[in-house]
Amino acid sequence: MAVEEFSEIAAARRIQRLSSHISPALTEPPQLQTEACSSRSKKLVVNGQALSLYMKGKHRDIQEKVHEFYNSRPDLQTPLEISKDDHRELCMRQLYALVREAGIRPFRYVADDPAKYFAIMEAVGSVDMSFGIKMGVQYSLWGGSVINLGTKKHRDKYFDGIDNLDYLGCFAMTELHHGSNVQGLQTTATFDPITDEFIIDTPHDGAIKWWIGNAAVHGKFATVFARLILPTHDTKGVSDMGVHAFIVPIRDMKTHQTLPGVEIQDCGQKVGLNGVDNGALRFRSVRIPRDNLLNRFGDVSRDGKYTSSLPTINKRFGATLGELVGGRVALAYSSVGVLKVSATIAIRYSLLRQQFGPPKQPEVSILDYQSQQHKLMPMLASTYAYHFATVYLVEKYSEMKKTNDEQLVADVHALSAGLKSYITSYTAKSLSVCREACGGHGYAAVNRFGSLRNDHDIFQTFEGDNTVLLQQVAADLLKRYQEKFRGGTLTVTWSYLRESMSSYLAQPNPVTARWEGEDHLRDPKFQLDAFRYRTSRLLQSVAMRLKKHSKTLGTFGAWNRCLNHLLTLAESHIESVILAKFIEAVRNCPDPSARAGLKLVCDLYALDRIWNDIGTYRNVDYVAPNKAKAIHKLAEYLSFQVRNVAKELVDAFELPDHVTRAPIAMQADAYAQYTHVVGF
């Protein structure tokens, strides 16, 4: 009995100690102070509420509505342990509840108010990433293809059913043998002038539509991308008009049985996103009406004649993909949401977790250790940077949808490719850093890093492989570079290149290369000039290399020889755009306290990036050795300063408790369960 009492007391003491870490009444643990840090100015005070209002903008209310709805519905929250089939049904119920119970209709904003749609998607994705992707498949991909690639007759026929979820659908582009190379798709849609129908065929196994979301279980329709084949009266007999999109019913509306000629297979268990029912589609002479061709950019008449306002296959293909760029915008925006969640969990844990300390003094927060600050504070700064960059991307995308301006379309296409690639790659790496920063407790499933990492990982692949997308950015930069020398105009995002070849590529100023003062290093002009200088040198040097190697290797061989250089160029350009938008956001913030907080993280973002690539700047004497040391020292100090306001900065994300959870509280609960189970 005495042993049992002792064990119960020991267990209670352990639980109390764990729980005390998260007591709302408890102030933060004592901080470690270094001489360098404590000698600076007093701690910055950030108005978290004003900062949150500025960041959330006009769509704060709709996000709060989503969070409050799912917070009030435990039955719609995804449990830690759930089977694939149960997860799929839960995601379907989550989507039905959003539309039919919460009264939120995302599809109504896809075309008319994209910023509001993406705000809903971010909130939904924080509840369950599978849920967010399933909503995106229904509204961005299936629904978006109908309203963006179709015409009025398609909108009139399908809009309401897509909106209210009666018409659940798929986006069938990817094939087993073709993913990134969309122009190489092999599925065919052959026009039969006798019956006035298209015949959809999968000619071989490599043309099976693969990884199609909503196909395995719930989808009733699919937008199928296929080669449009028309009969001709010449010796060839047929004419290939290139890839077009067609609406193909795949299941019966009443019985939900697979329709004749359609074969559906389940892609099975995945690394993550198992709430999304990915499937494979094969078509065996499936006939659809001629009206099911989404004919915005090309049409077929009753007598089999093809008409289009665009003169070539490449022009039509470009216009088609241009209308589907919203998927990349959504992924970039959603990836920032994932980064917010993971950074919040790791930073809150690090503020509360105590380990070691000075002799005979209380243990200190692990975020007081410089190594932990180095892991997490630049990440927090980057999260803010990417937030404002994707807000800008959404604004440009919304403007593009309203104006259909040709230059703007090209700008958004390249910008969305770059931001999607850069941000999703960064978030994927950061998820592992966050897990490691939380030690053994970060490995517990309840703390979400595992599920977040697995669910987010595919963001680097779908809607365009990241390496392929960065090459698109590099190709666009080279095109703009050539246009500059031909007297062409440059779009807003690339406008700095107008001056770059003269001012940025001049020999570095030996005086400014040695300036080490804090005011100079925190000057936005110095920071942005440094980013753009690097991009300009990379652009000029890779252009010269391509020209040289093309003579012996040809265009393709030269590109492949310079590929890593090209990828670095694309990333450098995207970082320049991100910093420019961050500086602009700081300048436009109306609240002085919030603006000071943003200026702090903006400076950390810029100087941390410069330091990470300091070799580039040193190689060309853009930065002298002592200045390089000053940049490093200041970046470390700024990390310390950000640590002092880290709580306010993550609180400004306004993520609900059921999304971020409370890591150490879960430890206490787990310990209580453990002691009960093993009989301590």
How many other CB atoms are there within 10 angstroms of residue 465's CB atom?
A: 14
Give the torsion through C-alpha atoms of 151, 261, 251, 128, to 10 deg: -90
C-alpha 331/C-alpha 409 separation (Å) is: 18
Q: Is 450 annotated as a binding residue?
A: no
Which of 205-225 are b and which e, b meaning 16 or more Cβ less than 10 Å from the residue's Cβ? eebbbbbbbbbbbbbbbbbbb
Count CA atoms closer than 13 A to 241's CA, side-chain side. 26
C-alpha 215/C-alpha 171 separation (Å) is: 9
C-alpha 117/C-alpha 105 separation (Å) is: 9
Helix/strand/coil for 222: strand
Q: Is 213 annotated as a binding residue?
A: yes
Alpha helices in 250-405 (DSSP H): 313-322, 326-352, 370-403
Catalytic residue among 175, 197, 323, 463: 463
Q: What is the DSSP string of 502-546?
A: IIITSPPPTTGGG---HHHHT-HHHHHHHHHHHHHHHHHHHHHHH
What letter does residue 258 receive in the DSSP assignment?
B
Angle between helix 326-352 and helix 663-678 axes, rounded to 10 deg: 70
Is residue 636 classed exposed, middle or buried when 0-12, 13-18 and 19+ CB atoms within 10 A define those classes? buried
Structure tokens at 491: 């779009």
Nearest to 220, CA basis, from 273, 264, 167: 167
Count CA atoms closer than 13 A to 149's CA, side-chain side. 32
Tell me, yes or no, if 323 is annotated catalytic. no
Element (H, E) at 225: strand 221-231
Helix/strand/coil for 172: strand
C-alpha 553/C-alpha 425 separation (Å) is: 31
What letter does residue 369 receive in the DSSP assignment?
S
Nearest to 437, CA basis, from 355, 359, 333: 355
In angstroms and rounded to an integer, the radius of gyration of the C-alpha atoms of the chain is 27
Structure tokens at 579: 């910093």
Nearest to 365, CA basis, from 375, 373, 353: 353
Element (H, E) at 31: none
Nearest to 32, CA basis, from 286, 313, 361: 361
C-alpha 464/C-alpha 328 separation (Å) is: 8
Calculate the CA 501 to chain-centre distance: 32
C-alpha 200/C-alpha 295 separation (Å) is: 16
The C-alpha angle 562, 564, 570, rounded to 5 degrees, equals: 100
**Cβ-based neighbours of 248, under 8 Å, separated by 6 or more:** 172, 200, 221, 222, 223, 224, 262, 283, 286, 288, 292
What letter does residue 99 receive in the DSSP assignment?
H
C-alpha 565/C-alpha 539 separation (Å) is: 9
> Which residues are annotated as part of the binding site?
174, 213
Binding site, annotated residues for FAD: 174, 213
**Active site amino acids:** 463
